[in-house]
Structure 1
Amino acid sequence: MASKAAAAEVIAGDRAVRVSSPDRVIYPATERTPEITKLQVAQYVADVSDGLVRALRERPTALERWPRGVLPGIELSTGRPGEKADAFYQKRVPTGAPPYLESVEITFPSGRTAREICVTEPAVAVWAAQMGTITFHPWPVRRADVDRPDELRIDLDPQPGTTFRDAARVAGVARELLAEHGVTGWCKTSGNRGVHVYVRIEPRWEFTDVRHAAIGFARELERRDDQVTTAWWKEERGERIFVDYNQNCRDRTIASAYSLRARPGAPVSTPLTWDDLAALEDPRTLNLLTVPERLADGDPWEGMDDEAHSIEPFLAMFAEQGSVELPYPPDHPKMPGEPPRVQPSKKVADHWDAAGNRVE
């Protein structure tokens, strides 16, 4: 019987990071890709660290950990108390973190606080991979001010009956709408079927303001394009591209640029030029094996931090639309003006007043 491989080392910046169980299979083979080992995942993180650290630097970041691998039968934990899981989100700094790891305290919607890791150098990201991290989920803030986002995130989510190409087309419409207001958008694949468009913004506004700007933008996009919806309830979306405005809420995160995703074939959430996005037919071709070579030719997001924009044009859209609230995620406290949190098909009109409060 072959013995288990000894621990390996991956060079990350000016540090060597130990990787235990380097031969453990993290991604089983597919028709397109061979088996991917833990060492390959750690080496991938080191290879793309220029772009990955640019996306994560100084941001509180939750880790999506799959220590046993992205294997059949393993599902990501829901986070229910007492639930045992082989894949889970790590929102607090894990025990045994290296001394060079830095962190920052953040506040959840519930009011509870925690210290989350901040990726300040490549070794932190490779250490996280050694701990089974597949996907990095950064907040849209820097640790200098964790209550004022510096990113507006436009998450284009294909619904059943639509495709990645539909999302890419809508992303192009979103780009045009941003450009009309002198705003630059930066696109990437989600690592699945969706497309993300990021806008670097001035850190002047709180989460609620940025969410309202996202709603204003999304509704205007919906007005311009029949294939776009802002409907929160799935039963109302139809075969359209959902703009998930709630990705701009406190403690809601999106897979970072250059993050792997926990799907067969080790796909990557990959920054692209707008021309590349328009030409891309299958986002699965952007994976652990192919993305490092693309990054060697330059990061399409390299200039993202050169200019920060105002969200005032999109707040103005929200106001012109009547400043009408949309539902918050279920883990958030009830917000002023928010409509009832009940599926339309299950809502009984007599049980709710005009302000959206339940009548007992």
Structure 2
Amino acid sequence: MPITEVEGRRITLSHLDRVLWPATGTTKGELLHYYVTAADVLLPHVRGRLASFVRTPDGVDGQRFFQKRPPAGTPDWVRTTERVRSGGELMSQVDVADLATLVWAGNLSCVEIHTPQWKTADPDSADRLVLDLDPGPGAGIADCARVALELRERLAADGITAWAKTTGSKGLHLLAGLRGATSRAASGYARRIATELERAEPSRVVARMAKADRRGRVFIDWSQNSASKTTAAPYTVRARPRPTVSAPLAWEEVEELRKPGGAEFAAGLTLDRMPDRLERAGDLLAGLLDPAAEAALPG
């Protein structure tokens, strides 16, 4: 098995030719190449946060599992942090703090990276707000785009700047930077905004969890602001039938999603196409990392 050195860390790579996405023939080696290419824009969004992984050792059509604890054999140079779970139990999780850790995780077929809306240095504060727009049966990405644009204006009215990205699945995520907020307060605010829009447009939007209510509507999932929840990280690959990426979007692109061909554009944001996009556009979520963009929730 080949051994590579990444930032002074020796990592044994295995089964680089293993196909993880049978529909496209995409291999683990290609997954690793993407994560190395995207590391400069991905790492700032996940560093300092507890990572959970979706692992697909036999490919996305095989067994998959969600892993929070560090995998067996985790090298001692991988940064981990202990947190107290709701039941009082101590549990360690990985911090994807550097390129070597990202490559190590990718080699374990950790296809997806999920993180919470708070940093380990200050777990009692929520520094991110997230609204997950999930189209129900009969709705699509164009409907999510329309709701995203409306939510952008609603958040701006409260002095909150929003950024958008694809989920890498069917919908969109809206993200904003917060200061001086708790996870409980962020969840309450997100729920209030979602409920407001449901009341204004009940035929197109739903803020309730019941799946039976989602047909033909966009579900605004506000619950991912809970301290116990995580969201697919910016630039993570998704364990979908095709190797789609949770890709940041310009607001002009969100507008374009409402037009014919929008669904094809979003579905085409795959790991093989992202390097060219990154070279052209850079990190479209860079503003989210600027402390000056953080906003206080309205009282």
2:137 to 160, 165, 174: 160
Match of 1:268 in 2: 245
Q: Which amino acid aligns with 1:67?
A: P
Separation of aligned partners in 1, 2:295 and 2:161:
11
Mapped pair 1:309 → 2:294: yes
Contact 1:152 1:198 in 2 (8 A): yes
State the shift of 1:12 in Å. Answer: 4.9
SS in 2 for 1:44: helix
Match of 1:219 in 2: 195
Match of 1:319 in 2: none
Match of 1:207 in 2: 183
1:276-325: CA deviations, max 9, x gaps?
22224121100011012111221101121212434432xx5xxxxxxxxx
1:239-275: CA deviations, max 9, x gaps?
2111111111122111111111111120111011111
Mapped pair 1:198 → 2:183: no
More off after superposition, 102-111 vs 145-154: 102-111
State the shift of 1:110 in Å. Answer: 3.4
Match of 1:179 in 2: 156
More off after superposition, 288-297 vs 225-234: 225-234
SS in 1 for 2:165: strand
Contact 1:218 1:245 in 2 (8 A): yes
Match of 2:30 in 1: 40
- Figure out how many residues of one structure are paired with residues of the other and give that number: 290
Mapped pair 1:243 → 2:220: yes
* TM-score, reference length from structure 1: 0.76
Match of 2:51 in 1: 61
1:18 to 12, 29, 44: 12
Contact 1:46 1:126 in 2 (8 A): yes
State the shift of 1:139 in Å. Answer: 1.3
Contact 1:28 1:35 in 2 (8 A): yes
Q: Which amino acid aligns with 1:27?
A: W
Contact 1:21 1:38 in 2 (8 A): yes
Q: Which amino acid aligns with 2:2?
A: A
2:270 to 287, 299, 304: 287
Q: Which runs of 5+ in 2 are unaligned?
A: none
SS in 1 for 2:286: coil
2:72 to 71, 79, 95: 95
- The change in CA–CA distance for 1:235 and 1:125 in structure 2 (over 3 A counts) is same
- The change in CA–CA distance for 1:240 and 1:111 in structure 2 (over 3 A counts) is farther
Q: Which amino acid aligns with 1:312?
A: L
Separation of aligned partners in 1, 2:131 and 2:6:
31
State the shift of 1:14 in Å. Answer: 5.9
Contact 1:108 1:250 in 2 (8 A): no
1:122-146: CA deviations, max 9, x gaps?
1111110111101001111111112
State the shift of 1:107 in Å. Answer: 3.0
Separation of aligned partners in 1, 2:279 and 2:33:
14
1:28 to 22, 33, 51: 22
Separation of aligned partners in 2, 1:234 and 1:145:
34
Contact 1:229 1:241 in 2 (8 A): yes
Match of 1:299 in 2: 283
Match of 2:60 in 1: 70
- The change in CA–CA distance for 1:213 and 1:193 in structure 2 (over 3 A counts) is same
Separation of aligned partners in 2, 1:16 and 1:158:
43
Match of 1:52 in 2: 42
Contact 1:218 1:243 in 2 (8 A): yes
State the shift of 1:231 in Å. Answer: 1.4
- The change in CA–CA distance for 1:8 and 1:285 in structure 2 (over 3 A counts) is farther
Separation of aligned partners in 2, 1:8 and 1:221:
53
- The change in CA–CA distance for 1:219 and 1:311 in structure 2 (over 3 A counts) is farther
Separation of aligned partners in 1, 2:126 and 2:93:
16
More off after superposition, 278-287 vs 304-313: 304-313
Identical residues among aligned pairs (%): 34
Contact 1:261 1:269 in 2 (8 A): yes
Separation of aligned partners in 1, 2:128 and 2:196:
19
Mapped pair 1:108 → 2:85: yes
* TM-score, reference length from structure 2: 0.91
- The change in CA–CA distance for 1:277 and 1:16 in structure 2 (over 3 A counts) is farther
1:7 to 2, 6, 9: 2
